Amino acid sequence: MDAAAGSALGWLCAGVSTFLGLQALCRARSSRRGRARALLWSLLPAGLCAGALGAAGALALLAAVCLLRALCGDSDLLPVRDRAVLITGTDTGIGHALAKYLDSLGFVVFAGVLNKDGPGAEELRRSCSQRLSVLQLDVTSTTQVKEAYLTVSEKVQNAGLWGVVNNAGILGFPADGELLPMSTYRHCMEVNFFGAVEVSKTFLPLLRRSQGRLVNMSSMAGGIPLPRYAAYGASKAALSMFSGVMRQELSKWGIKVMAIHPSGFRTGIEGTAEQWDQHEKELMENLPADTRQAYGEEYLLGLRNYLLHLPSHCAPDLSPVLAAVLHALLARSPQGLYTPGRGAYVPLCIFCCFPLWFYDFFISKMLSAGSVPRQLRTSGDEGKNL
């Protein structure tokens, strides 16, 4: 790169950084914290323009500015007032906790549940305010989605719906992608992707009235490849891509779209022992004989151990996820992507910035490999396949 091109690139980076600084200054208002943050954004372009950085240094500093801005976020939140929000999948886990949390803050919450007579729905009715409404909402049922829309539309009237949080999701049975039956792939896509798409498309007219927010609960597995999550990760990756495209397309209507990529949290999404038995039986019944022989009974039966130990590796405190959703709903300038959870952004950064072989090596060391398939344990085969 010649000197003229390097200088032009440096000034381009300086211009972008200056724009970020001006944005921060406009939002600073009179708070001491806001003024300090605005001063930070204003000093960075000055350092960038010092002339000694060169093109590479300018790009590096611009990346640092963007990273700092993403980490600091926008602390200027809109008032709650009586904003109405629909949340799917509130029977348990993140959705259940989020419905309670937003209700406690004063939101009008429409809590979609898979079973309106189940313990999760009863707990919401018992512990939340009269503002919260429990809706029967299986996101894979077009009829229930339309009925929910009519109920919500009647209650919000011309005010519209401020937010839709597509939280409903299933994990399935974590196993090697070769082992998973096609029904698992289809079920994950039906709930995690198609269900979220149908809910979004159905409720967008209400979001358009309020120029509101669409929040899609994806996963860390939707942004980076993780072993044993072929079906779940593929469905969440589809949801993340859908979020990105909708963010671009709906901006002209004043609707903001965000994706949440939490790291491991203890939500109960792994299911119950009875569900594991059903998934395991289905998996074993659909395996071709040569595949069963290659992996071996010990490896196949060991897949359940992963589920048994999964909760111990997950954080029990859901507050980082709840805070991320609240910021997505109320921030004047929300982030397009949130990665709540300790270190959730680290694998994503490694995946985006490093060679794939390094990412694969990193993931293999970070995640326990577990047992080895029978065929790879025989002499000579393991080294041949590495």
Strand order in the sheet with 84-87: 133-136, 108-113, 84-87, 163-166, 213-217, 256-260, 337-338
Residue 24 CB-density burial (10 A; 0-12 exposed, 13-18 middle, 19+ buried): buried
Q: Assign 3-class secondary structure to the chain.
A: CCHHHHHHHHHHHHHHHHHHHHHHHHHHCCCHHHHHHHHHHHHHHHHHCCCCCHHHHHHHHHHHHHHHHHHHCCCCECCCCCCEEEECCCCCHHHHHHHHHHHHHCCEEEEEECCCCCHHHHHHHHHCCCCCEEEECCCCCHHHHHHHHHHHHHHHHHHCCCEEEECCCCCCCCECCCCCCHHHHHHHHHHHHHHHHHHHHHHHHHHHHHCCEEEEECCHHHCCCCCCEHHHHHHHHHHHHHHHHHHHHHHHHCCEEEEECCCCECCCCCCCHHHHHHHHHHHHHCCCHHHHHHHCHHHHHCHHHHHHHHHHHCECCCHHHHHHHHHHHHECCCCCEECCCCCCHHHHHHHHHCCHHHHHHHHHHHCCCCCCCHHHHCCCHHHHHC
Nearest Cα neighbor of 217 from 356, 347, 373, 324 is 324
Catalytic residue among 232, 295, 306, 359: 232
What are the angstrom distances between the C-alpha of 380 and each of 300, 374, 375? Answer: 22, 12, 10
Q: Is 306 a catalytic residue?
A: no
Query: Which residue numbers are catalytic?
Result: 232
